Copies of this chain bind each other. A is one copy, B any other.
Amino acid sequence: MAPFSLDRWSAERLARVEQALSEWVVADAPAGLGEAMRYAVLDGGKRLRPLLVLAASEAVQGNADAALRAACAAELIHAYSLVHDDMPCMDNDVLRRGKPTVHVKFGQAQALLAGDALQALAFELLAPEGTSVPPAVQAALCRLLARSAGHAGMAGGQAIDLASVGRALTETQLHDMHRRKTGALLQASVMMGAACGTSSETARSALQDYGAAIGLAFQVVDDILDVTADSATLGKTPGKDAAQDKPTYVSLLGLQRSRDYAQELLAQAMQALDRSELTDTRALRALAMMVVNREN
């Protein structure tokens, strides 16, 4: 087998995802709404969630149309959460991916609506009429995405985050917050990819563990970068968590132990793939390494 290149693998998938997002995130929504939705989604971000969906789907020989839809849907949920999270009543951030945030550019009301419409669009993409995606796959994708986005996942994690400002959290509480806030959607991205095809119980269980490990690793690395990276590299305002007195892995464990913990989670992700009995997990492995070793 030729050596695996994540860059080459990603480039082809990212082109497909960008093309699909540009087609599906409608410009013709009324009264400027489409413009705000596109601004929130297009031309920005690492597209980690789409890549995880596609890598997992390829590992189980999933339906390609279903996987592309799930990839875009996961990204839309991520994008909408950033729009709402940046609003003045939440984190009040003015810079995102090096650009003014949506509410700065389009106003708060439009930002609120654009986020709402992006969440609806995510589910619309997952339940298409007249495609090759079997109804059972559509239903499974909606289930996975809805659970990861809602009170048990992302929205719940953000509620904990809000309530935790200025309070000391234990490591268990910090895990629980991040497992929901960031981890749930990353793990769901992996499991949505898996739901696009068929796989053994062993494989699904291993992918669950893989998703949980990289979901947590992502946040640990985020916390590290918040104190070590500069604004230009990060594309957003660094040092915000400390300034807002938010509990982070770095504030709880210190920088070195946070770095060790990220490496430990990477090892767990790799071990999960080792026992998955899946034939080709190279993209999933490379993405796990990217999550932990990224610089922004």
List the interface of chain A (C-beta within 8 A of B): 26, 29-34, 37, 80-81, 84, 87, 89-90, 107-110, 112-113, 115-117, 119-121, 123-124, 126-129, 134-136, 138-140, 142-143, 145-147, 149-153, 155-160, 162-164, 176, 180
Contact = CB atoms under 8 A, between A and B. Distances in A.
Contacts of A136: 135
A11 to B, nearest CB: 30
13 contacts: A29-B155, A29-B156, A30-B176, A31-B163, A37-B151, A89-B107, A89-B112, A110-B162, A116-B149, A120-B153, A124-B147, A127-B142, A139-B139
Contact of A30 (B117, B123, B124, B156): B156
Contacts of A115: 116
Contacts of A33: 151, 155-156, 159
A151 B31 contact: no
A155 to B, nearest CB: 4
A109 B89 contact: yes
A296 B11 CA distance: 56
A138 B140 CA distance: 9
A219 B20 CA distance: 36
A109 B90 contact: yes
A113 B37 contact: no
Contacts of A150: 117, 120-121, 124
B116 A156 contact: no
Interface centre among A120, A124, A135 (most CB of B within 10 A): A120
Nearest to A128: B143
Given A89-B108, A115-B116, A117-B156, 19 more contacts: A26-B151, A26-B152, A30-B176, A30-B180, A31-B163, A33-B159, A34-B151, A89-B107, A89-B112, A113-B155, A116-B116, A117-B150, A117-B151, A119-B120, A124-B146, A127-B146, A138-B138, A138-B139, A142-B142
A142 B126 contact: yes
Contacts of A127: 139-140, 142-143, 146
A102 to B, nearest CB: 12
Contacts of A159: 29-33, 110, 113
A131 to B, nearest CB: 11
B120 A151 contact: yes
Given A135-B135, A139-B127, A30 B160 contact: yes
B110 A90 contact: no
Given A112-B84, A146-B127, A162 B120 contact: no
A20 B108 CA distance: 34
A112 B121 CA distance: 18
A139 B127 CA distance: 6
B152 A29 contact: yes
Contact of A129 (B117, B143, B160): B143
